[in-house]
Amino acid sequence: MSKEFNRFVTGKPDSPPYTSQTSAVSAEETRILTEYIQQKNLFHVINRDESRRKTLLLKQFFKMKRHQQVTIISAIKHDETIATVGKVATIGRDFVMVSDLKKRIWIPYEAIESASIPFGFPTYSTPHQHHIYDNQLQQKLVLRFGETVAAKDALVRQFFEETLHTNLSTWKGVWVEVVTVECSFFGKLKSASKTECVLQRMGSEQRIPLNEIRSITTIGIASLWKRFGNQVVTAFSQRLKGWRAS
């Protein structure tokens, strides 16, 4: 009774109110109109600056397909491409990360030739699998945006576009395979900067320029042991050949 009386006297609700409506029309019409304006603005920008066409279109496509299955055709070598299928997990300023049940794959926009939806897959996502459950999240974003977003990495990645090296810096210690134009490397991710990615393996370091990277893929435990086993067998075979030759 006292709470209701205080609320009546002071005129203040128990929780902060929302801000006023952003549009005079219905919510669905506002959403459609907003998407239309965003797409018109996007094409105005790329028509003015062709150098940004590829990056902006890919970024917009992946944002529309967040948490959905996509197929990415990317260049590995000058005359070789590879198809990667996975769910869009992170959309960065200069890269996209897709994932499946076994691995995560980072692909720079510069290496992508095309992106589409796999045939036979639905064009809708399963938001119940990716939703951040917080009954007051919308209210917190409206009234305390900076504090709310900074408290959750998932919200930071959603509202602020990370660069490739910034995102990789949060995955230090993970075993990855890095594919470049010339060859591939694997090792534990030690660090990443604006110019290079550093892998560590067996006490040695491998520095790979970021502009040469075509993809980065996480390596599971089984694949990791298999790679080390192949290296041991190869080294033993070479040493055995040397003994026989001598």
The model's pTM is 0.75
- pLDDT (tens digit, 0 to 9) for every residue of the chain, 246 residues total? 455 544 544 455 555 565 566 677 787 888 888 888 988 999 999 999 999 999 999 999 999 898 899 999 998 877 788 999 999 999 999 999 999 988 999 999 999 999 998 876 655 555 444 555 566 777 787 788 888 877 777 777 777 788 999 999 989 999 999 999 888 898 899 999 999 999 998 888 999 999 999 999 998 876 766 766 666 666 666 666 666 666
In a domain, 100, yes or no: yes
Two structure tokens written together for 161 = 């576009």
The total of structural domains in the chain comes to: 1
In a domain, 156, yes or no: no
Residue among 14, 5, 45, 43 at smallest CA distance from 139: 14
In a domain, 47, yes or no: yes
In a domain, 110, yes or no: yes
In a domain, 173, yes or no: no
230/228 Cα distance (integer angstroms): 5
In a domain, 44, yes or no: yes
Q: Taking each helix axis as running N to C, give the angle between helix 27-48 and helix 53-64, from 0 to 180 degrees, rounded to the nearest 10.
A: 160
In a domain, 22, yes or no: no
In a domain, 6, yes or no: no
Domain of 38? Answer: 27-124
126/162 Cα distance (integer angstroms): 24
CATH number at residue 71: 2.30.30.100
Given a contact cutoff of 8 angstroms between Cβ atoms, the answer to whether 76 and 82 are in contact is yes
pLDDT tens readout for residues 177-228:
999 988 889 889 999 999 999 999 888 899 999 999 999 999 887 676 676 6
